[in-house]
């Protein structure tokens, strides 16, 4: 049991520590909301695209492409959105259903999901995780738009101009053509890439407020349970049944159990009157995620599936 616990701790503890540092830095005034806004923009537009591009470009395309894994991720994400829509018909008020569904199925794959996969398996699975994340991101955006039902929004424009999607596409081109980047460019890109996870996690921690948990408890708790328990539980059981094991199964579990994406708040705030609920879902799911994910990893390790 000690080996399983140590493996799980190595995956989740660094994330928890950086989240706590973010909370501490914000409470002590070491960072403020202006810093968080600028840093989040820097991560989204510069460092995360660098991380994804260089991890994919430096990996042979055959090693990074896993069609069954990618197909499973896309189909299960679509199925989860449909399932949580059905759940919302019973549990959630009509005008809040879109925000609930988005909070229940849309995970923070680009930061926390990638960070957990990297902590668990190192650079070996980073390119695969990057492609997996990119494919899910491509369907997440239009799917969230359909769920939130805004007027006049053009989801495909935001996909085509998304720095993450562009970086993944360029990484695939360089990988497929086997283009060798000059050492100084590769090293410079790696410097930027290495800033991504610590900076982003500190900013997420700095954005968490305990008072965000108390205004809409029913909607927030149910969305968090769907995101952290029901989605990874159903997805992992089905993946085991379909024959996924070891690193592939670990990637599926870690991606599915990622807390709600911060971008869901941005979309909910712009397109609905319930941005506050989205913020509360993000806060509660992020604060609760490391303990739940640790328990899940220990269970999968002890049963021999990982």
| Blockwise average pLDDT, block size 10, the chain, 306 residues | 85 92 94 91 90 88 87 96 96 93 94 94 90 88 79 60 84 87 93 92 82 73 96 97 96 97 81 84 91 95 92
- Report the CATH number at residue 18: 1.20.1530.20
Closest by CA to 116, choosing from 287, 258, 305, is 258
- Per the CB < 8 A criterion, the answer to whether 69 and 187 are in contact is no
Give the C-alpha distances (Å, rounded to integers) separating 218 from 85, 102, 135, 225, 299.
Answer: 16, 16, 31, 11, 28
How much is the pLDDT for 222? Answer: 96
Biggest CA-to-CA distance, the chain = 57
**Residue numbers of the domain that contains 295:** 2-302
With a CB cutoff of 8 Å and minimum separation 6, the contacts of 263 are: 106
Rounded Cα distance, 123 and 248, in Å: 14
**Total number of domains constituting the chain:** 1
* Residue environment code for 173-200, b if the CB has 16+ CB neighbours within 10 A, otherwise e: ebbeeeeeeeeeeeeebeebbebbbebb
Residue 260, SS3 per DSSP? strand
How much is the pLDDT for 212? Answer: 53
Instruction: State how far Cα 52 lies from the chain centre.
Output: 14
How much is the pLDDT for 154? Answer: 59
How much is the pLDDT for 31? Answer: 94
Give the C-alpha distances (Å, rounded to integers) separating 191 from 11, 51, 67, 269, 288.
Answer: 22, 9, 31, 34, 31
How much is the pLDDT for 272? Answer: 83
**Can you give the pTM of this predicted structure?**
0.88
Residue with tokens 């199964």: 249
């Amino acid at each position: 049991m000690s080996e399983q616990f140590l493996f799980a701790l190595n995956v989740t503890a660094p994330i928890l520590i950086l989240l706590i540092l973010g909370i501490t830095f914000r409470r002590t005034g070491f960072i403020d909301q202006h810093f968080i806004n600028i840093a989040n923009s820097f991560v989204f537009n510069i460092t995360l695209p660098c991380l994804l591009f260089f991890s994919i470009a430096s990996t042979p395309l055959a090693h990074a492409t896993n069609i069954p894994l990618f197909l499973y991720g896309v189909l299960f994400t679509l199925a989860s959105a449909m399932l949580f829509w059905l759940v919302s018909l019973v549990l959630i008020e009509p005008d809040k259903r879109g925000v609930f569904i988005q909070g229940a199925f849309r995970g923070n794959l680009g930061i926390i999901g990638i960070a957990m996969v990297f902590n668990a398996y190192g650079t070996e699975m980073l390119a695969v995780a990057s492609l997996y994340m990119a494919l899910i991101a491509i369907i997440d955006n239009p799917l969230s738009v359909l769920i939130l039902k805004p007027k006049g929004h053009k989801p495909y424009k935001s996909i085509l101009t998304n720095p993450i999607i562009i970086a993944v596409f360029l990484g695939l081109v360089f990988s497929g053509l086997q283009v060798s980047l000059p050492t100084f460019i590769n090293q410079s890109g790696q410097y930027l890439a290495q800033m991504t996870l610590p900076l982003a996690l500190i900013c997420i921690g700095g954005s968490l407020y305990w008072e965000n948990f108390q205004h809409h408890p029913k909607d927030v708790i149910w969305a968090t349970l769907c995101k952290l328990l029901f989605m990874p539980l159903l997805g992992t059981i089905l993946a085991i049944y379909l024959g996924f094991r070891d690193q592939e199964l670990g990637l599926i579990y870690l991606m599915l159990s990622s807390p709600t994406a911060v971008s869901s708040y941005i979309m909910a705030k712009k397109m609905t009157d319930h941005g506050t609920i989205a913020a509360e879902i993000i806060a509660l799911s992020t604060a609760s995620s490391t303990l739940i994910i640790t328990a899940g990893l220990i269970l999968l390790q002890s049963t021999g599936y990982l």
